[in-house]
Chain A
Amino acid sequence: MARSGKGLLHGTLDTLILRTVSEAPRHGYAIARWLEERTDEAIRVEEGSLYPALYRLEKQGLLRSEWGRSELDRRAKFYHLTENGRQRLAAETRAWSEFSEAVSRVLRPG
């Protein structure tokens, strides 16, 4: 079980975050939960890596945040993709599938 963000390949956390908010604006906890559920807790993102990454991505202009109401009617900070973020996600996704396909080809028995 990959326990932490540190175990992820370098830069992968950023891409996963971008993917997570690409469907709908999400707050930090929702991003963490979505990743956990989506991967059956195979990937557990450590909060200590998640939040600095969110702030960094926003600084880079790939994410924007807004304060809004959470599902429990609590004030929460929601992140959504910017146009730049969308382009970055597309590029990273393409690069990742090419990479994983190549790795799979090598690992495929026979």
Chain B
Amino acid sequence: MGRMGRRPPVEAEVDEEMEFHVEMRVRELVARGWDPEEARAEAIRRFGDLERVKDDCRTQGRRRDGRMRRQRWFDELRQDLGFAVRQLRRAPGFSAVVVVTLALAIGATSSVFSVADAVVLRPLPFPESDRLVAIWTRYLPASGFDIEKFALSGPEVLDLADTSEALEDLTVMGGGSRTLTGGGADPERLGVGFVSASFGAVLGVEPVVGRWFGPDEDVPGATPVVVLAHDLWQSRFGGDPDLVGRTVELDGGAVEVVGVMPPGFDYPSGRQAWLPMGLDRSNEGGRASHGYSVLGRLRDGVSLDAFDAELERLNAGWGAEYEHNAHHFLWAQSLKDEEVADAPRTLALLAAAVGLVLLVACANVANLLLARSERRMGEVGVRTALGADRGRIVRQLVTESLVLAGLAAVLGLALGGVGTRALLAIHPEALPRLDGVGVDGRVLGFTALLAAVTALLFGVGPALWTGRRALGSVAGGTRGSTAGRGRSFLRRGLVSAEVAFSLTVVLFAALTARSLVGLVGTDPGFTTRDAATVRVSLPTGTYSEGAQLPGAFDDLRRRLATVGGVRSVGAANGLPFAGVASRWDFVLDDRPPREEGTPAWNARVTIVTPGYLETLGIPLLRGRSFTDADGPDDAMVGMVSRSMADRTWPDADPLGKRWGYERTDSTGATVVEWITVVGVFADQFANRIGEEVVPEVYLPHAQVGISGYGWSRAMSFVVASDRPANAILPEVRAAVAAFDPDLPLYSVGTLQGLLDTSLQQPRLTANLLGSFGLLALLLAAVGLYGVVAYAVAGRTREFGVRRALGAPRGEVTRLVLAEGSGPLLVGVAVGLAVAAFGVRLVEGLLYGVEPLDPLTFLGVSALLVGVGLLASVIPALRATAVAPTEALRE
């Protein structure tokens, strides 16, 4: 910019400047009478070390240049920003539309990211959590079941602990609950974990007060000890540091508190206390009794693959040694994979959908910018004439896009934050780890990056376009030129892309919505919905004898039956969808003993009271259900599910058949109490609607202690009433308190609530995809409308002529619709292809509808075409409404 043109590079600059100085000095000295050669030597001498001086200058010069470049860059940025803000304020309508469009898309995207980050991306909150593995048993089909993932048996856990080289340590993890009493406070039901002495070491978490329990305390018959959660220690014991060493009362028995865990630690999910599991080393017969979840920590540097290989070797050895292990294999997965379950699949689908919405929004905004660039050709032309080069113009336009995207990001974060909180409040159990969702630094960073990428996506194309045109035309219109046609082609292409992407999102939404409708409409196996549920556990202290329990539960059942309006009351040790289910191997009295290598018979067992079937409305298919006459001294009876009956006695009448459970009596002999089938009930889903149905049996609670499995101490009561379930809950509480004021109530709710909880994830997915689909559809419609309206504006004259020459209104309408239908149909065709490829994302997330369901594809295509035509009709009507004379005068 200097008077003499561009600055030379710093090397030449220094040389030339020093040479000039030397020449000037020589001239001076010669004038004073020096010999020219001596004068030159003197001039150079005065520099001292000339090369060093030059080096100094060059170093300083290079720094100077860098500084000036940065300075210029910032100056220009400030200019551009100021100019951008002025431009956007001059077109408030345009700016608002763009910012809102982008804010919706960016907000939705950053919300999905915030959920994905909390649920899937972030590591588990334990030191070196990538070394933690969950270990499972796989039931091979030869075992009679084909189960991928089941708990281990005690002997399997101990064998693994003894022999594994890959594991640093392992711990069992069982869940349960205990009632904490005493201290003058109300009894409190605690979620407790039954774990090993190694639990703290495996997770890498130490108690903050006291200690963890030792191996000598983790054996059957040891003095009972407990480690408390920080919250419980604070709320119940006021954070008393002297609590350690004292005893508390759990289920009526004294237990010594040995430690308190750090604040926030409640693993696995919601535990308030941890007790030793006390695995029994002498219980070799329990190899088939699977009941222990296992968590291991790999040695440093050992990979999951290496552990898998080791497990394969160990499995082979155990399979040769024990018949049971011929069909039951141990396997491992990373703990994180176990914790996040199938959440990554749901989130991948949501991320894909929201990404498409973002692309639709970008295409839409790009189109708006292209339309606006027409109006700005004059201004851009003037700036070009004033010396701004093309790069500068493009940079200015991109800066405007960045300002728009930045504003949208701020608004989007606010909208997304509010929306996410609202959605998660409705669906708190839809995905694991949702309590960690929030707007934090990572979400802010992602959103900022997203805004930048978005600005480039929608801004660079139109900016380059405008920049190129600015070179060709200094002010003045070029309507109808090649550039104009090219832009119209670009605009149609963008609209086609919008249609294609929205079709895909709408299709995802439609498929998940149909799947949800299918899930909601599927019979879970019981018909009652509006019934109150409450879980009651009778502590060993007060109810020490197992045989006392059925009488106590019957007493409570009769009390609950007196609550006003109650039709029936029943109870079971676990309700459907409440995650309690155990499966036992059984034998049949009309079959020979199972041969080695043949599958064991096995069914899920639920212990129920009389009235359970009737209260839940579980259809009785054959025979009878339990009555009060099925007492401990009467003949042992049981009910079987339809699939149990079909599998076990495929060709015979199941009524009157007998099954039983083997156990070892005090003399060491194997005994079986035979149970006679008295009824057949309809199949039930245990955990989730749509899952595979498992054979199931019901045993009367009054007899179950005799059949070999001990009495059930905890029962969930279901109370069906003529009044709404929520209305009778206070009276249900009162009835339990009247029965025994020391009993805490937990899992209080309704049957409908249990069903709803199991449907939260599909509901959340369908709701989100529905919103995304609607947004995409709306944006595509607006985009299509814009293109058609623009084309119509350019052809007003032509339409006028046509009408003046006698063309009927219908013909003009057809011409206008043709403008929109081209990009629309191309978009639908491309969209169907994209969707057919994209549906692999929904596979496995659908129930009752195929990913490539033709009806859904057809319906969604029709919807897109319909909405698209509607968007084109408005400009068409406007075009025909113009009087021919008026159009010609224009």
- Interfacial residues, chain A to chain B (CB-CB below 8 A): 27-29, 32-33, 46-48, 51-52, 54-56, 58-59, 61, 66-68, 70, 74-77
Which residues of chain A come closer than 8 Å to B624, judged between CB atoms? none
Given the known interface contacts A55-B60, A59-B64, A66-B3, the answer about A77 and B17 at a Cβ–Cβ threshold of 8 Å is: yes
Asked if residues B3 and A27 are in contact (CB atoms below 8 Å), the reply is: no
Which residues of chain B come closer than 8 Å to A59, judged between CB atoms? 60-61, 63-64, 67
Report the bound CA distance from A74 to B25 in whole Å: 14
Which residues of chain B come closer than 8 Å to A29, judged between CB atoms? 20-21, 24-25
* 24 intermolecular pairs with C-beta atoms under 8 Å apart: A28-B21, A29-B21, A29-B25, A33-B28, A46-B46, A47-B47, A48-B46, A48-B47, A48-B48, A51-B18, A51-B53, A51-B57, A52-B56, A52-B57, A55-B64, A58-B60, A61-B67, A68-B3, A68-B4, A74-B20, A75-B4, A76-B20, A77-B16, A77-B17
B2 close to A (CB within 8 Å): yes
Per-position contact with A for B1-14: 1 when CB-CB < 8 Å, else 0?
Answer: 01111011000011
Report the bound CA distance from A32 to B8 in whole Å: 23
Partner of A47, one of B2, B16, B53, B61: B53
Asked if residues A77 and B20 are in contact (CB atoms below 8 Å), the reply is: yes
Asked if residues B53 and A77 are in contact (CB atoms below 8 Å), the reply is: no
Which residues of chain B come closer than 8 Å to A51, judged between CB atoms? 14, 17-18, 21, 53, 56-57
Which residues of chain A come closer than 8 Å to B2, judged between CB atoms? 66-68
Which residues of chain B come closer than 8 Å to A76, judged between CB atoms? 17, 20
Which residues of chain B come closer than 8 Å to A66, judged between CB atoms? 2-4
Question: CB-nearest residue of chain A relative to B58?
Answer: A55
B49 close to A (CB within 8 Å): yes
Main secondary structure of the interface of A (DSSP, over half): helix
Asked if residues A55 and B57 are in contact (CB atoms below 8 Å), the reply is: yes
Instruction: Pick the most buried of B13, B17, B23: most chain A CB atoms within 10 A of its CB.
Output: B17
CB contacts under 8 Å to A, within B140-195, are none
Report the bound CA distance from A77 to B49 in whole Å: 21
Report the bound CA distance from A76 to B24 in whole Å: 11
Asked if residues B4 and A52 are in contact (CB atoms below 8 Å), the reply is: no
Report the bound CA distance from A29 to B23 in whole Å: 10
How far in angstroms is the closest Cβ of chain B from A85? Answer: 14
Partner of B53, one of A27, A52, A58, A61: A52
Partner of B20, one of A27, A52, A54: A27
Report the bound CA distance from A51 to B4 in whole Å: 21
Given the known interface contacts A47-B48, A68-B4, the answer about A52 and B60 at a Cβ–Cβ threshold of 8 Å is: yes
Instruction: Give the top 4 A-B pairs by smallest Cβ distance, nearest first.
Output: A55-B60, A59-B64, A48-B48, A67-B4
Question: CB-nearest residue of chain A relative to B55?
Answer: A52
| Given A28-B17, A58-B60, A61-B67, 17 new contacts (CB under 8 A) | A28-B20, A46-B48, A47-B48, A47-B53, A48-B46, A48-B47, A48-B53, A51-B57, A52-B56, A54-B57, A55-B64, A58-B61, A59-B61, A66-B3, A68-B2, A76-B20, A77-B16
Which residues of chain A come closer than 8 Å to B21, judged between CB atoms? 27-29, 32, 47, 51
Main secondary structure of the interface of B (DSSP, over half): helix
Which residues of chain A come closer than 8 Å to B4, judged between CB atoms? 66-68, 75
Interface residue count for B (Cβ, 8 Å)? 30
Which residues of chain B come closer than 8 Å to A70, judged between CB atoms? 20
How far in angstroms is the closest Cβ of chain A from B81? Answer: 22
Question: CB-nearest residue of chain B relative to A51?
Answer: B57
How far in angstroms is the closest Cβ of chain B from A28? Answer: 5
CB contacts under 8 Å to A, within B23-64, are 23-25, 28, 46-49, 52-53, 56-57, 60-61, 63-64
Partner of B64, one of A27, A58, A77: A58
Which residues of chain B come closer than 8 Å to A68, judged between CB atoms? 2-4
Question: CB-nearest residue of chain B relative to A36?
Answer: B28
Report the bound CA distance from A23 to B5 in whole Å: 24
Report the bound CA distance from A59 to B68 in whole Å: 8
Report the bound CA distance from A29 to B47 in whole Å: 12
Report the bound CA distance from A51 to B64 in whole Å: 14
Report the bound CA distance from A61 to B3 in whole Å: 20
Which residues of chain A come closer than 8 Å to B61, judged between CB atoms? 55, 58-59
Question: CB-nearest residue of chain B relative to A31?
Answer: B21
Report the bound CA distance from A58 to B16 in whole Å: 17
Asked if residues B47 and A77 are in contact (CB atoms below 8 Å), the reply is: no
How far in angstroms is the closest Cβ of chain B from A97? Answer: 29
Which residues of chain A come closer than 8 Å to B5, judged between CB atoms? 67
Report the bound CA distance from A97 to B210 in whole Å: 73
Which residues of chain A come closer than 8 Å to B60, judged between CB atoms? 52, 55-56, 58-59
Instruction: Pick the most buried of A32, A46, A54, A55: most chain B CB atoms within 10 A of its CB.
Output: A55
Report the bound CA distance from A6 to B13 in whole Å: 25
How far in angstroms is the closest Cβ of chain A from B39? Answer: 14
Per-position contact with A for B60-85: 1 when CB-CB < 8 Å, else 0?
Answer: 11011001000000000000000000
Which residues of chain B come closer than 8 Å to A27, judged between CB atoms? 17, 20-21
Which residues of chain B come closer than 8 Å to A33, judged between CB atoms? 28
Report the bound CA distance from A51 to B48 in whole Å: 12
Asked if residues B53 and A75 are in contact (CB atoms below 8 Å), the reply is: no
Question: CB-nearest residue of chain A relative to B4?
Answer: A67
Asked if residues A67 and B3 are in contact (CB atoms below 8 Å), the reply is: yes
Report the bound CA distance from A77 to B61 in whole Å: 13
Report the bound CA distance from A48 to B63 in whole Å: 19
Which residues of chain A come closer than 8 Å to B3, judged between CB atoms? 66-68
CB contacts under 8 Å to A, within B771-830, are none
Instruction: Pick the most buried of A51, A56, A58: most chain B CB atoms within 10 A of its CB.
Output: A51
How far in angstroms is the closest Cβ of chain B from A54? Answer: 8
Asked if residues B24 and A77 are in contact (CB atoms below 8 Å), the reply is: no
Which residues of chain B come closer than 8 Å to A54, judged between CB atoms? 57
Report the bound CA distance from A55 to B61 in whole Å: 6
How far in angstroms is the closest Cβ of chain B from A59? Answer: 4
Question: CB-nearest residue of chain A relative to B66?
Answer: A59
Which residues of chain A come closer than 8 Å to B25, judged between CB atoms? 29
Question: CB-nearest residue of chain A relative to B46?
Answer: A47
Asked if residues B56 and A55 are in contact (CB atoms below 8 Å), the reply is: yes
Which residues of chain B come closer than 8 Å to A77, judged between CB atoms? 13, 16-17, 20
Question: CB-nearest residue of chain B relative to A44?
Answer: B46
Which residues of chain B come closer than 8 Å to A74, judged between CB atoms? 20, 23
Report the bound CA distance from A42 to B4 in whole Å: 35
Report the bound CA distance from A61 to B63 in whole Å: 11
Which residues of chain B come closer than 8 Å to A52, judged between CB atoms? 53, 56-57, 60
Which residues of chain A come closer than 8 Å to B16, judged between CB atoms? 75, 77
CB contacts under 8 Å to A, within B584-605, are none
Asked if residues B7 and A67 are in contact (CB atoms below 8 Å), the reply is: yes
Which residues of chain B come closer than 8 Å to A61, judged between CB atoms? 67
How far in angstroms is the closest Cβ of chain A from B541? Answer: 83
Report the bound CA distance from A74 to B18 in whole Å: 13
Which residues of chain A come closer than 8 Å to B20, judged between CB atoms? 27-29, 70, 74-77
How far in angstroms is the closest Cβ of chain A from B343? Answer: 55
Which residues of chain A come closer than 8 Å to B64, judged between CB atoms? 55, 58-59
How far in angstroms is the closest Cβ of chain A from B84? Answer: 27
How far in angstroms is the closest Cβ of chain B from A35? Answer: 14
How far in angstroms is the closest Cβ of chain B from A37? Answer: 11
Which residues of chain A come closer than 8 Å to B8, judged between CB atoms? 67
Which residues of chain A come closer than 8 Å to B47, judged between CB atoms? 46-48
Which residues of chain B come closer than 8 Å to A58, judged between CB atoms? 60-61, 64
How far in angstroms is the closest Cβ of chain A from B75? Answer: 13
Question: CB-nearest residue of chain B relative to A32?
Answer: B21
Which residues of chain A come closer than 8 Å to B14, judged between CB atoms? 51
Report the bound CA distance from A104 to B4 in whole Å: 47
Question: CB-nearest residue of chain A relative to B64?
Answer: A59
How far in angstroms is the closest Cβ of chain A from B73? Answer: 15
Question: CB-nearest residue of chain B relative to A55?
Answer: B60
Which residues of chain A come closer than 8 Å to B13, judged between CB atoms? 77
Per-position contact with A for B364-408: 1 when CB-CB < 8 Å, else 0?
Answer: 000000000000000000000000000000000000000000000
Report the bound CA distance from A68 to B4 in whole Å: 6
Report the bound CA distance from A101 to B23 in whole Å: 40
Report the bound CA distance from A6 to B866 in whole Å: 86
Question: CB-nearest residue of chain A relative to B59?
Answer: A55
Which residues of chain B come closer than 8 Å to A32, judged between CB atoms? 21
Asked if residues B17 and A48 are in contact (CB atoms below 8 Å), the reply is: no
